[in-house]
Structure 1
Amino acid sequence: MKVRKVTAAASVLLALSLTATACGGDDKDDKGSGGGKKITIGIKFDQPGLGQKTPDGKYEGFDVDVATYVAKELGYKEGDIEWKEAKSADRETMLQRGDVDFIAATYSITPEREEKVDFAGPYLLAHQDILVRADDKSIKSPKDLNNKKLCSVAGSTSAQNVKKKLAPKADLQTYGGYSECLTGLQNKVIDALTTDDSILAGYAAQKEFEGKFKLAGFKMTNENYGIGVKKGSDLKKKINDALTKMVKDKAWDETVKKHFGPANYKNEPAPQIGDIVK
């Protein structure tokens, strides 16, 4: 860069100009008190073991660890990350508007979603499953859910999938959230809870529930979790490279054990990045 001397007056004008530019700029990579580079990542705030905002304002879970690893590979420190809540219904819109740089939030890759956004990954292969009480020996296959009270949350398609395809006589119970389903399961008001096995494992691994529930291991669907980016973004390849490295250096295995281990979650091996399991 060419450097030249300036007069005192010019220096003042230059300083004022730079200050005005800094105050007026809206570059998302330059926000924050330090003016340093930032990255904004969407996660779930209410899924223990995957993406959760704790009462003390911290963020933890498998998706959080994966996103943090990826961000570091992209050149960002942990303190450079701004976390945003990415509710299921808002994810495509958040990416399309540029509210976030990428989303790691139990985000299953589907043809419908791929029309709107791009996906890196998959970084986890999950399956729809059910959670039952640890001492329950009556449900050995999906058909055993007939005449059982099956819980899922409002707006979820998981319970409908079971009723339509596997257990048409299941008694569906719709609750406002998974925590309510867990309470009902614990109190024997319901017999089983259904959603992705990774989500179920995250809840079952909480200290207050440890040892009280078990996953049935039915693997009723394949859910390829991907990291969503804006359509056409060059981040897709960079994130895939980061995920490949995470699997290779065993950091992926360590974070799976850390967050799902207490639930005895028999997770699938780390997926081949770029290969979607149908």
Structure 2
Amino acid sequence: MLMRRTGAVLAAAAMTLGLAACADAGEYSSVEEKIKDGGEVTIGTKWDQPHLSLKQGPGEPEGFDVDVARYIVKELADGQDVKITWRESPQASREALLQNGTVDMIIASYSITAARQNYVTFAGPYVIAHQDTMVRADAAHIAKATDLMGKRICQVPGSNSYKRITESPPDGQLGLPAVLVGANSYSECVQKLISGDLDAVTTDDMMLAGLSSHNPDKYKLLKDPFTDERYGVGLKKGDTATCEAVNRAIAKMWRDGTATRLLRKWFGQTGLTLPTTAPPAEGCS
């Protein structure tokens, strides 16, 4: 009898420990549930893009994408405090970081594309940017995007921007022959532009406006946009519950004026023409 009782106690203890282990592992059915019930979330963003997301020193990153992320998290948490852990998410790593669970969501000038939707569930878009081109201030021979034929442009792993120049639709846009010069990030592209290793940096206008903001006299934006870049919130493939919740938060962000205020806060002095209405939401899949 004692042995049976002892066995029952041990079995009950093992079950309790097992349940505790599951709770400690933080296994949730969606990121929305993790935010509401767990009170924490890990967000991937970039750390080298002024006005969008820039991390300087030991503090948290700051910029438009960061403020959008905070708003969305607060909405998903019904206004409760949530611990946000920020992770750097370069272009080439974003899909992998979502798939392996290193981050819960990515808000990092992450354009929604058909190819990426094979691996990522996107909420949004929360804003629409447009691909443009930046050259040195004295580069009079490049006045529009089609002048990039045969020119040296930057190629960043994981980014589609160079393809918009060199390939034709549907994956590209202009189908121009150009010389691709590799760089690990767009901040490195700007360094190569100034050093003369590049003729132009072409990517989203919001990114270019931020990158040129510290030395505006050195750069010139062509203001010749030729794409619509729909910035989405990246989630692990299949997390439609969180996607739908994020879409509701984005709609509210535009409805209550927060999106317009944040755009003016970060880009009001850059000369960009800022959107004033919410972009149409896409379905969660």
TM-score higher than 0.5 here? Answer: yes
Alignment of 1:223 with 2:201, yes or no, is no
Deviations 1:219-275 (A, max 9, x none): 222211111223133111111111111111221112112222343222344433415
Alignment of 1:96 with 2:99, yes or no, is yes
The equivalent residue for 1:4 is none
Tell me how far apart the structure 2 counterparts of residues 99 and 187 of structure 1 sit (CA, whole Å).
36
Q: Which runs of 5+ in 2 are unaligned?
A: 1-15, 169-173
Tell me how far apart the structure 2 counterparts of residues 168 and 24 of structure 1 sit (CA, whole Å).
54
Deviations 1:115-143 (A, max 9, x none): 33321111111222111234544322222
Amino acid in structure 2 at the alignment position of 1:85:
E
Worse-matched range after superposition: 142-151 or 60-69: 142-151
Amino acid in structure 1 at the alignment position of 2:84:
I
Alignment of 1:138 with 2:141, yes or no, is yes
Asked whether the equivalents of residues 151 and 181 of structure 1 are also in contact (C-alpha less than 8 Å), the reply is yes
Deviations 1:122-173 (A, max 9, x none): 1111222111234544322222223443334356442343234547454433
Among 199, 211, 221, the alignment partner of 1:203 is 211
The equivalent residue for 1:85 is 88
Tell me how far apart the structure 1 counterparts of residues 217 and 265 of structure 2 sit (CA, whole Å).
16
Alignment of 1:261 with 2:256, yes or no, is no
Among 168, 183, 187, the alignment partner of 2:191 is 183
Asked whether the equivalents of residues 132 and 215 of structure 1 are also in contact (C-alpha less than 8 Å), the reply is yes
Q: Which runs of 5+ in 1 are unaligned?
A: 1-16
The equivalent residue for 1:238 is 245
Aligned residue for 1:111, secondary structure, equals: coil
Alignment of 1:274 with 2:277, yes or no, is no
Worse-matched range after superposition: 233-242 or 50-59: 50-59
Tell me how far apart the structure 1 counterparts of residues 160 and 38 of structure 2 sit (CA, whole Å).
42
Amino acid in structure 1 at the alignment position of 2:281:
G
Check 1:144–1:93 CA distance in 2 against 1; reply closer, same or farther (3 A cut).
closer
Amino acid in structure 2 at the alignment position of 1:241:
R
Check 1:269–1:134 CA distance in 2 against 1; reply closer, same or farther (3 A cut).
farther
Aligned residue for 2:268, secondary structure, equals: helix
Let me know the Cα RMSD of the aligned residues.
3.3
Asked whether the equivalents of residues 240 and 273 of structure 1 are also in contact (C-alpha less than 8 Å), the reply is no
Aligned residue for 2:133, secondary structure, equals: strand
Asked whether the equivalents of residues 204 and 213 of structure 1 are also in contact (C-alpha less than 8 Å), the reply is yes
Asked whether the equivalents of residues 148 and 191 of structure 1 are also in contact (C-alpha less than 8 Å), the reply is yes
Percent same amino acid at aligned positions? 40
The equivalent residue for 2:74 is 72
Alignment length (residue pairs): 255
Asked whether the equivalents of residues 243 and 273 of structure 1 are also in contact (C-alpha less than 8 Å), the reply is no
The equivalent residue for 2:4 is none
Tell me how far apart the structure 1 counterparts of residues 232 and 42 of structure 2 sit (CA, whole Å).
17
Check 1:96–1:169 CA distance in 2 against 1; reply closer, same or farther (3 A cut).
closer
